Amino acid sequence: MPHVLCLRPIHPDAIALLRSRPDVTVEVLDPVTSEALDQRIGAAHAITVRLQTIDASLIGKARNLRIVARHGVGYDAVDVAALTARGIPLTVTPDANAVSVAEHALMLMLATARQTVGYHARTRAAQWGFDLPTFDLAGRTVLVIGFGRIGGRVARLCAAFGMTVLVRDPHVPRNTIKGAGFVPADDLDAALAAADIVTLHCPATAETRGMVNEAFLKAAKPGVVLINTARGTLVDEPALAAALAAGHVAGAGIDVFAVEPVQPDNVLLRAPNVVLMPHSAAATAESMRRMAMSCAESILACFDGRLDPHVVVNPEVLRRNA
Amino acid sequence: MPHVLLERPLHPAGRAILDARSGITVETATGDAADFIARAPKADAILLWLTSVDAAFLDRCPNLKVVARYGVGFDTIDIPECTRRGLPVAVVNGANDLGVAEHAMALLLGIARRIPAYDRMVKGGEWRSVDGPPIGELAGRTVLVIGYGRIGTRVARLCAAFGMRVMVHDPAFPTPRIAADGHIPAPDWRAALAEADVVTLHCPLHAGTRHLIDADALARMKTGVWIVNTARGPVIDEAALVAALRAGKVAAAGLDVLTVEPPAKDNPLFGFDNVILTPHSAAAAQETLAKMAVRAAHNILDALDGMIDPGFLVNPEVLRKNA
């Protein structure tokens, strides 16, 4: 009988879905100690993975393993090559977090525009007045970098607020961007010179890492606002902190850092006009449930031989297994 | 020569319109109520921020031809007394609705994501990405928009853009029009409270809306409801809200307005981590301040010229009476 091992609990509705199958057994490890893992991994046909590192040595011990289901979309901590060598699919939860992250990006834009954090602190201290400048989103120009599941939603929400929406994504045909009602930004420098707000929605790759550097910031309009709900490594943090200190960047809403948890010496912690969040964009109750349900559905689909290749990071194993 | 008295310095965008007009004099008070009241008797037009206007004030201002407000609220002005005297009361309709609607969304998203709490934790070295205070999404939640005027209509549209289910209550607005706009009319707002995950207020303050959200209304709401108020503080019974927050009935609130402004240092709302407060700054964005100043200046000049658009008057009936 296939056995599912959850490395830390996932949403109870997903556990219930797994348990509703009479031919499947479920076990939850919490906490996940290396002793417990060593002891139980051999019995697992499927594992759900939150923040646990899944390396080649662990995969070697998982002699019955048929699927690894990542609770989330990133898989930096999983040795994909070792799984592929064994023909084991790694799934992610691509549909679970887009709504949540897009809302978070808009929240950071509005919080920056309205100085919500600063005014909240002043009001609670009974300081009443308009000494912090605020602005409307309507009529502003936003540059959305990355036009995937999240960027597409952010672009639509910005349009609903009456913003002019520029979109940059070298992997999306410009006519697709135009057809969606937005302005393709072929020339990055020209787009940066026009944008009041720049929001990042691309993955961290060799091509994008460190993209927001000194030259990028210099090309941006004075008074620009930067929103990052993508990956911390897209941004050269010291360059951003310097641009904030100089006032060239008027504000930033940051959910992600180059090193997480954020380190006490991170320069952004003491930069002016920043709103900082603990990589919580996808951590809403609804999103956590969707991620868990997606994991459970992938595991059951794998056991039933009907795994959707669109959620599989290494789909080549499906062809090989077929 | 008509004399215009401003309670405090006007945004340059509006001041320029007054200065460009020959044949009037313009005087600026300090913003202090006593100073303004002392200067008022000479005025033909007054522009008000926070000063209250009652019968005794009007008795001392025999030349007055228009009472103009830098804002859209009129709870500080005795409207029946102005109407009885044939005095038009002008507000800056249309200048602030966009800014206030955006502010309501900023507060709504802010409480959904608990921004001040998480921002403080991250800056203080506490990283709690999954086990911190609970956060939620707008998509899929039901919002009850109370008041479907210039601001409420915008908020309803923005909520719909976020994928929310939008219910609208406004006794002054035909329900078929609310339905035609794509929202769910809620003529029985008390019944609708039981369905709403979010309640957002966009009605003016008058006798009928004072303490609209009282202990009874709060008791009818879902446990875990979120409340946003960018309208007027007294629309909510603040003591009842505090009790509902303490009891966990209300999970979060975003408030731009309070019963007493500026608030006392010991306002009990300051003690909640799930309440976001802003200092009545919804209409304080630079763009909004400029638009309001332009509208206020035109209202004063148009009223002095006897050609004000009744759409900017709280008591348009005075135009018919004066005619």
Shared-domain flag, residues A74 and A215: no
Shared-domain flag, residues A78 and A185: no
For residue B36, pLDDT beyond 80? yes
Look up residue B254 and give its DSSP letter: E
Count of CB contacts below 8 A, A vs B?
161
Of B98, B162, B276, the CB nearest to A136: B98
Residues of B in contact with A130 (CB under 8 A): 279, 281, 284
The CATH number for B17's domain is 3.40.50.720
Mutation site, B114, B135, B159, interface A, largest A CB count within 10 A: B135
Shared-domain flag, residues A85 and A118: no
Q: Going residue by residue through chain A (322 aa), what tens digit of pLDDT does each one get?
A: 899 999 999 999 999 999 999 999 999 999 999 999 999 999 999 999 998 999 999 999 999 999 999 998 888 889 999 999 999 999 999 889 999 999 999 999 999 999 999 999 999 998 998 889 999 999 999 999 999 999 999 999 999 999 999 999 999 999 999 999 999 999 999 999 999 999 999 988 899 999 999 999 999 999 999 999 999 999 999 999 999 999 999 999 999 999 999 999 999 999 999 999 999 999 999 999 999 999 999 999 999 999 999 999 999 998 765 5
Single-letter amino acid code for the residue at A61? K
Reduce the DSSP state of residue A277 to 3 states and report it. coil
Reduce the DSSP state of residue B78 to 3 states and report it. coil
Shared-domain flag, residues B237 and B217: yes
d(CA A153, nearest CA chain B) in Å: 9
Q: Which domain holds residue A79?
A: 3-96+285-321
Shared-domain flag, residues A54 and A105: no
Shared-domain flag, residues A245 and A125: yes
Shared-domain flag, residues B140 and B221: yes
Residues B217 and B191 sit within 8 Å (Cβ to Cβ): no
Establish whether A214 is a catalytic residue: no
Shared-domain flag, residues A295 and A163: no
Shared-domain flag, residues B65 and B204: no
Angle at which helices B97-113 and A98-114 cross, to 10°? 120
The CATH number for A144's domain is 3.40.50.720
Cβ pair A126:B262 closer than 8 A:
yes
For residue B323, pLDDT beyond 60? no
Residues of B in contact with A117 (CB under 8 A): 115-116, 119
Of A117, A124, A136, the CB nearest to B119: A117
Cα-flanking dihedrals φ and ψ of residue A170, to 5°?
-65, -15
Shared-domain flag, residues B62 and B102: no
**Residue with the two structure tokens 């669109």:** A310
Q: Return the residue of B nearest to A260 by Cα.
A: B127
Average pLDDT over residues B186-210: 96
Shared-domain flag, residues A102 and A244: yes
Shared-domain flag, residues B302 and B220: no
Q: How many domains does chain A have?
A: 2
Q: How many domains does chain B have?
A: 2
- Adjacency order of strands within the sheet including B275-277: B184-185, B165-169, B142-146, B198-201, B225-229, B250-255, B275-277
Residues of B in contact with A116 (CB under 8 A): 106-107, 110, 115-116, 276, 278
Establish whether B232 is a catalytic residue: yes
Shared-domain flag, residues B32 and B124: no
Shared-domain flag, residues B262 and B119: yes
Of B140, B280, B281, the CB nearest to A134: B281
Question: What is the structure's pLDDT at B321?
Answer: 64
Shared-domain flag, residues A205 and A179: yes
Shared-domain flag, residues A88 and A165: no
Element (H, E) at A47: strand A46-49
Shared-domain flag, residues B88 and B164: no
Shared-domain flag, residues B223 and B309: no
Shared-domain flag, residues A246 and A114: yes
- The separation between CA B87 and the C-alpha centre of its own chain, rounded to angstroms, equals 23
Shared-domain flag, residues B174 and B190: yes
Cα-flanking dihedrals φ and ψ of residue B263, to 5°?
-75, 155
Shared-domain flag, residues B218 and B257: yes
For residue B54, pLDDT beyond 60? yes
Establish whether A260 is a catalytic residue: yes
Single-letter amino acid code for the residue at B205? L
Q: How many angstroms separate the CA atoms of B101 and A148, rounded?
A: 28
Q: Which domain holds residue B310?
A: 3-95+286-322
Question: What is the structure's pLDDT at B242?
Answer: 98
Look at residues B138, B153, B104 and name the one whose alpha carbon lies nearest to residue B255. B104
Cβ pair B286:A123 closer than 8 A:
no
Residues of B in contact with A136 (CB under 8 A): 98-99, 102, 285, 287-288
What ipTM does this complex have?
0.88
Q: Which of B27, B137, B261, B317 is an active site residue?
A: B261
User: Is residue B320 very low, low, confident or very high in pLDDT (cuts 50, 70, 90)?
Assistant: confident
Look at residues B254, B263, B242, B260 and name the one whose alpha carbon lies nearest to residue A126. B263
Shared-domain flag, residues B129 and B256: yes
Question: What is the structure's pLDDT at B205?
Answer: 92
Cβ pair B129:A138 closer than 8 A:
no
Shared-domain flag, residues A141 and A290: no
- The separation between CA B46 and the C-alpha centre of its own chain, rounded to angstroms, equals 21
Shared-domain flag, residues A102 and A240: yes
